[in-house]
Amino acid sequence: MPRLLRFLLIPAFIFTIALVYFVSRNHYQIGNALSSATRPIWDKAEGPTDIVTHYYAEGLDINGSVCALHGWKERLGSRFKVIDAILMSTELDLLEIRMNELDPVVDRFYIIESNATFTGLPKETSFALNRQRFAKFQKKISYRLVPGYPLEPGQTAFDQEANTRDQMTKLIRSHMAEFLPETQSLVIMSDIDEIPSAHTIELLRTCDFGQSIHLQLRNYVYSFEWLVGFTSWRASVHRWDRDTFYRHSQSSNTILADAGWHCSYCFRTIPEYITKMRGFSHADRIGGRLDLLDPKRIQDTICRGKDIFGMLPEAYNYVDLFSKLSLESATTAVGLPLFLIENAERFKFLLPGGCQR
């Protein structure tokens, strides 16, 4: 029955062509969806596993008794200096919220900025251009501009990122000399969007937690309207020694619970989303799909709390995975940084109901 065969072959052929076209256009997203959907099987959660229960209520006097509650001893002798070491991006709003939150407990802010993204594209030096916004912290700020360069063949964004962290290590080392030799320092190592709460730093300054500790942060996307979970662990605080270096990787198995906020993709304008999607170290996630950079699609994504790269969220067990597929929009703004709430009108885009950019 050659006739019937031919009759069947034509739709089969068309279907195959369509399938090949769809897969080639979306191969990156399909691969990602498969690896995300099976992640609970092949991957284990990264990060520290020894979680220190965190005790705090507004007005608590953080003293030796509170240290004991956390299983720590109160520090005796001279007061530790606290340094907040920040790699600047374009996120001026988060920087302002961060510096105001930490100002009461931080002695120095070290800020490093580059004129290129980690992928080597030129970018504005946001901090240098907006210094007057941070004038009230002027006396505490040490700033260094690190010239960026286009990636050489064989180099990746991760090399550029590592180089920038190296520069921060050098900046901290060169400044340690200005403190009296007997003055000990704590260094906060966290990205600009990973903001420890002031009372957390007060606790770590008062109590001897050891050489280093990670900070578990509430992880939000787009604004404080969308809480993903308590999944952020890379931020850390270190007692600075001669061989300490500035890092964003695991340095200890101990992590202090609920120690602040990590607001990912919390930008004021749509162009910042596009710059970030092109510029950061996971830029391969775009996978050649330029339509992902469409401003209307990004705006819609922000208002619906969906993953910006159109991927399934990373999760390590199926309960988690399904609970993250659709985030629930928050109707509370309790327990957020003080400066954010005091300036709610200016920072409306970071608060529930303010998703329109």
Ligand X SMILES: *[C@@H]1O[C@H](CO)[C@@H](O)[C@H](O)[C@H]1NC(C)=O
Which chain residues interact with ligand X by CB under 6 A? 61, 63-65, 115-116, 122, 147-148
Select 64 or 287, whichever has its Cβ closest to ligand X. 64
Burial class (CB within 10 angstroms; exposed 0-12, middle 13-18, buried 19+) of 139: exposed
**Cβ at position 151, least distance to ligand X in Å:** 11
**Cβ at position 337, least distance to ligand X in Å:** 25
Number of residues that make up the chain: 357
Q: Are 54 and 195 in contact (CB under 8 A)?
A: no
Residues 6+ apart with CB under 8 A from 321: 36, 37, 39, 40, 312, 313, 315
Select 127 or 226, whichever has its Cβ closest to ligand X. 127
Select 118 or 233, whichever has its Cβ closest to ligand X. 118
Q: Are 91 and 266 in contact (CB under 8 A)?
A: yes
Q: Which of 84, 137, 103, 138 is nearest to 338 (CA)?
A: 103
**Cβ at position 145, least distance to ligand X in Å:** 8
Instruction: Give the separation between CA 174 and CA 179, rounded to whole angstroms.
Output: 11
Backbone angles phi, psi at 250, to 5 degrees: -75, 125
Number of Cβ within 10 Å of residue 213's Cβ equals 24
Select 58 or 61, whichever has its Cβ closest to ligand X. 61
**Cβ at position 64, least distance to ligand X in Å:** 3
Characterize the bridge pairing of strands 50-52 and 254-256: parallel
What is the CA angle 55-57-60, rounded to 5? Answer: 95
Q: Are 191 and 248 in contact (CB under 8 A)?
A: yes
Select 120 or 229, whichever has its Cβ closest to ligand X. 120
**Cβ at position 335, least distance to ligand X in Å:** 22
Select 64 or 352, whichever has its Cβ closest to ligand X. 64
Q: Which of 315, 307, 263 is nearest to 285 (CA)?
A: 307
Nearest residue to ligand X on Cβ basis: 64
**Cβ at position 276, least distance to ligand X in Å:** 17
Residue for token pair 């068309």: 14
**Cβ at position 60, least distance to ligand X in Å:** 8
**Cβ at position 117, least distance to ligand X in Å:** 9
Select 121 or 286, whichever has its Cβ closest to ligand X. 121
Instruction: Give the separation between CA 89 and CA 116, rounded to whole angstroms.
Output: 10
Select 66 or 171, whichever has its Cβ closest to ligand X. 66
Select 12 or 57, whichever has its Cβ closest to ligand X. 57
The two three-digit tokens of residue 23, written as one number: 């897969």
Backbone angles phi, psi at 200, to 5 degrees: -65, -45
Helices (H), the chain: 2-42, 64-69, 92-102, 126-129, 157-176, 198-206, 270-279, 295-304, 318-325, 338-342
